[in-house]
Chains A and B, each alone.
Chain A
Amino acid sequence: MQSFYAVYRKEMGHYFVSPIAYIFIGLFLFLSAYFFNYFLSAVIQQASMMAMQGMRFGAPPEVDVPGQVMRAFFGLLSTLILFFTPILTMGVYAEERKRGTMELLMTSPVTETQIVLGKFLASLTLFALMLLPTASYLVFMCLRSDPMPPWRMLLAGYAGVLLLGGSLLALGTFISSLTENQLIAAVLTFAAFLFVWVLDLGSNASGGIGAVVQYLSVIRHYDDFTRGIIDTSALIYYFSFIALFIFLTVRSIDSMRWRRA
Chain B
Amino acid sequence: MIEVENLTKTYGEATAVDHISFAVNKGEILGFLGPNGAGKTTTMRILTGFMPATSGTARIAGFDVATDSMDVRRHIGYLPETPPVYPDMTIESYLDFVARIKNVPSAHRAANVTDAMRKTNLEDRRTELIKRLSRGYKQRVGIAQALVHDPDVIILDEPTVGLDPKQIIEVRNLIKGLAGNHTIILSTHILPEVSMTCDRVVIINKGKIAAVDTPQNLTSQLKSGQKIRLEVQAPPDAVKGALAQVPGVSRVQVEQLPSSAHSIVTVETARGADIRSDIAAKIIASGWPLYELRGVSLSLEDIFLELTTDDASHAQPSLN
Known contacts: A109-B70, A261-B51. The answer to whether A6 contacts B86 by CB under 8 A is no
With an 8 A cutoff between CB atoms, is B50 at the interface?
yes
How many positions in chain A have a CB within 8 Å of any CB in the partner chain?
28
* Bound form: Cα–Cα A14–B82 in Å: 20
The answer to whether B84 and A100 have CB atoms under 8 Å apart is yes
Q: Which residues of A contact B101 (CB under 8 A)?
A: 3, 6-7, 105, 108-110
Q: Which residues of B contact A136 (CB under 8 A)?
A: none
The answer to whether B145 and A104 have CB atoms under 8 Å apart is yes
Name the one of A5, A7, A10, A109 contacting B102, with C-beta atoms under 8 angstroms: A109
Segment with Cβ contacts to A, from B72-80, B196-204, B205-213, B243-251: B72-80
The answer to whether A10 and B86 have CB atoms under 8 Å apart is yes
> Which B residues, 49 to 100, have Cβ-Cβ distances below 8 Å to chain A?
49-52, 70, 73-74, 76, 78, 80-89, 93, 97-98, 100
* Bound form: Cα–Cα A99–B131 in Å: 12
Per DSSP, chain B at the interface is loop
Q: Which residue of B lies closest to A7 (CB)?
A: B101
Quote the shortest CB–CB distance from A122 to chain B (angstroms).
Answer: 13
Known contacts: A3-B103, A13-B93, A258-B51. The answer to whether A107 contacts B76 by CB under 8 A is yes
* Contact-size category for B: 20 to 34
The answer to whether B11 and A107 have CB atoms under 8 Å apart is no
Interface membership of chain B positions 133-156, coded 1 if the CB is closer than 8 angstroms to chain A and 0 otherwise: 000000000000100000000000
* Bound form: Cα–Cα A69–B17 in Å: 66
With an 8 A cutoff between CB atoms, is B48 at the interface?
yes
* Bound form: Cα–Cα A6–B148 in Å: 15
Q: Which residue of B lies closest to A95 (CB)?
A: B86
The answer to whether B80 and A106 have CB atoms under 8 Å apart is no
Q: Which residues of A contact B103 (CB under 8 A)?
A: 2-3, 109
Which 3 A-B pairs give the minimum distances between C-beta atoms? A6-B100, A104-B84, A107-B48
A residues with a Cβ closer than 8 A to B are: 2-3, 5-7, 9-10, 13-14, 17-18, 99-111, 257-258, 260-261
B residues with a Cβ closer than 8 A to A are: 11, 45, 48-52, 70, 73-74, 76, 78, 80-89, 93, 97-98, 100-103, 145
Q: List, sorted by A's number, 8 A–B pairs whose CB atoms are closer than 8 Å.
A: A9-B100, A100-B80, A100-B84, A103-B80, A107-B48, A108-B98, A109-B70, A261-B45
